[in-house]
Amino acid sequence: MNIVFDLDGTLIDSAPDIQSVASIILHRLDKEELTLEETRRFIGEGAAVFVRRMMHARDIDETPQSHAALLEEFVAQYEFAVEKAVYYPGVYDTLLALKASGFALGLCTNKPELPARAVMRHMGMEALFDTVMAGGMIASHKPEPDMLLQTIEALGGGTTLYVGDSEIDAETARRAGIPFALFSEGYRKTPVNEMHHDWVFDHFDTLGDVIDAFRLKHG
């Protein structure tokens, strides 16, 4: 039985690191820094979309060339932005317990691969995951279902629960036809009752109850 997790907004709050990277770029351009609230709102659909939203929010003229240049600068800085990320309460112990219980664990994130692996190393979670699917590894990104479906395939297929925090994750699960548990304390912008989900939880101490319900229904 597999459990696949999103990363930013689900397992870790990485918005302060991302805000720092954006601030370096915006300071160079003599633009006002993003607030933490803006940063969290812009996260979820990959670095290219984040940079586009940042440009629009600060009235930076966007052409294919200007976007590509800022995206390249953003990703180059992003790989090393790991110092401010923190686990949501209960996450690490929950991952350890799931691994010890024999679940196959996957990670499926739109975060670019190098920054994703860097923050995983920094936070000591690499060994907990059997497979990782990150932005840029295939020519598709969430909410298209391909990343999630290929993550499940890499885990050997079989019954899978997807755990995420955002509208993007909810739509990815819906399109893939995979049961979805919504972590309600992440980066979502939409009321819980307006989002697709099979289960909802607000603390990782209670994810076990969701998994029990999932196993009862799908095991």
Which residues are designated catalytic?
A: 6
Quickly tell me which residue has 């918005």 as its tokens: 15
User: DSSP code of 33?
Assistant: P
Taking alpha carbons only, the member of 6, 5, 16 closest to residue 82 is: 16
What does the DSSP assignment read for 87-156? EPTTHHHHHHHHHHTT-EEEEEEEEEHHHHHHHHHHTT-GGG-SEEEEETSSS--TTSTHHHHHHHHHTT
User: DSSP code of 45?
Assistant: S
Please, are residues 172 and 140 in contact by the beta-carbon 8 Å criterion? no
Phi, psi of 162 (to 5 degrees): -105, 135
The C-alpha atoms of residue 148 and residue 128 are separated, in whole angstroms, by: 18
Quickly tell me which residue has 């691994």 as its tokens: 99
